[in-house]
Structure 1
Amino acid sequence: MGTTSTVTLGDGTRTRYRLDGPDDAPVLMLSNSIATTLDMWDRNITDFAGHFRVLRYDTRGHGESDAPGGAYSIERLGRDVVELMDALDIDTAHFCGLSLGGFIGQWLGIHEPDRIDKLVLANTSAYLGPAPQWDAKIIDVLNAPDLTEIAAGFLCNWFPDQLRADEALVGPFRDDILGMRVTGLAGCLAAVRDADLRRTLPLIRAETLVIIGEHDTVCLPEHGTLIADSIPAAERVRMPVTHLSNVEDPTGFANAVFDFLGER
Structure 2
Amino acid sequence: MPTIRVNDIDLHYRLDGPQAAPVLVFINSIATDLTVWDAVVPALQNSFGVLRYDARGQGKSTVTDGPYSIDMLGNDLLSLLDSLSLRRVHLCGLSLGAMVGMRLATKHPERIDKLVLCNTAAQIGPPESWDARAEAVRGKGMSAIRTAVLERWLSPEFVAQNKEGTERVLNMAHSSPVNGYIGSCAAIRDMDQRESIKSITAPTIVVAGTADAATPPADARYIANAIPRAIYTELPGGHLSNVEQPTRLGNAVRSFLLNSSATSSL
Q: TM-score range by the shorter chain?
A: over 0.9
CA displacement at 1:75 relative to structure 2: 0.3
Alpha-carbon distance in 2 for matches of 1:253, 1:170: 18
Q: Aligned residue for 1:169? A: 165
The structure 2 residue matched to 1:116, chosen from 112, 119, 125, is 112
What is the identity, as a one-letter code, of the residue corresponding to 1:217?
Answer: A
The structure 2 residue matched to 1:5, chosen from 2, 7, 19, is 2
Q: Aligned residue for 1:201? A: 197
Q: Secondary structure at the match of 1:49?
A: coil
Q: Secondary structure at the match of 2:44?
A: helix
| Pair 1:24-2:29 in alignment | no
Map of 1:173-184 to 2, 5 A cutoff?
173-184=169-180
Deviations 1:148-187 (A, max 9, x none): 2313322332212332243322222222222222110000
Q: Aligned residue for 2:132? A: 136
The structure 2 residue matched to 1:240, chosen from 227, 236, 240, is 236
RMSD of aligned alpha carbons: 1.4
Alpha-carbon distance in 1 for matches of 2:31, 2:106: 25
Alpha-carbon distance in 1 for matches of 2:153, 2:127: 21
| Pair 1:83-2:92 in alignment | no
CA displacement at 1:15 relative to structure 2: 0.7
Task: State the TM-score, normalized to the length of structure 2.
Answer: 0.94
What is the identity, as a one-letter code, of the residue corresponding to 1:8?
Answer: R
Work out whether residues 246 and 253 of structure 1, in 8 Å CA contact, stay in contact via their aligned partners in 2.
Answer: yes
Alpha-carbon distance in 2 for matches of 1:152, 1:122: 22
Q: Secondary structure at the match of 2:103?
A: helix
Alpha-carbon distance in 1 for matches of 2:20, 2:115: 20
Q: Secondary structure at the match of 2:192?
A: coil
Q: Aligned residue for 1:185? A: 181
Q: Secondary structure at the match of 1:56?
A: strand
Alpha-carbon distance in 1 for matches of 2:56, 2:86: 19
Task: State the TM-score, normalized to the length of structure 1.
Answer: 0.94
Q: Aligned residue for 1:148? A: 143
Q: Secondary structure at the match of 1:94?
A: strand
Alignment length (residue pairs): 259
Q: Secondary structure at the match of 1:43?
A: coil
CA displacement at 1:220 relative to structure 2: 1.2
Any stretches of 5+ residues in structure 2 without a counterpart?
none
Work out whether residues 202 and 232 of structure 1, in 8 Å CA contact, stay in contact via their aligned partners in 2.
Answer: yes
Deviations 1:129-148 (A, max 9, x none): 1111111111111111x322
What is the identity, as a one-letter code, of the residue corresponding to 1:7?
Answer: I
Alpha-carbon distance in 2 for matches of 1:205, 1:180: 34
Work out whether residues 224 and 230 of structure 2, in 8 Å CA contact, stay in contact via their aligned partners in 1.
Answer: yes
Work out whether residues 93 and 117 of structure 1, in 8 Å CA contact, stay in contact via their aligned partners in 2.
Answer: yes
What is the identity, as a one-letter code, of the residue corresponding to 1:220?
Answer: P
Any stretches of 5+ residues in structure 1 without a counterpart?
none
Alpha-carbon distance in 1 for matches of 2:143, 2:35: 20
Percent of pairs identical after alignment? Answer: 40
Work out whether residues 206 and 233 of structure 1, in 8 Å CA contact, stay in contact via their aligned partners in 2.
Answer: no
The structure 2 residue matched to 1:158, chosen from 148, 153, 156, is 153
Alpha-carbon distance in 2 for matches of 1:220, 1:178: 24
Alpha-carbon distance in 2 for matches of 1:160, 1:201: 28
Q: Aligned residue for 1:214? A: 210
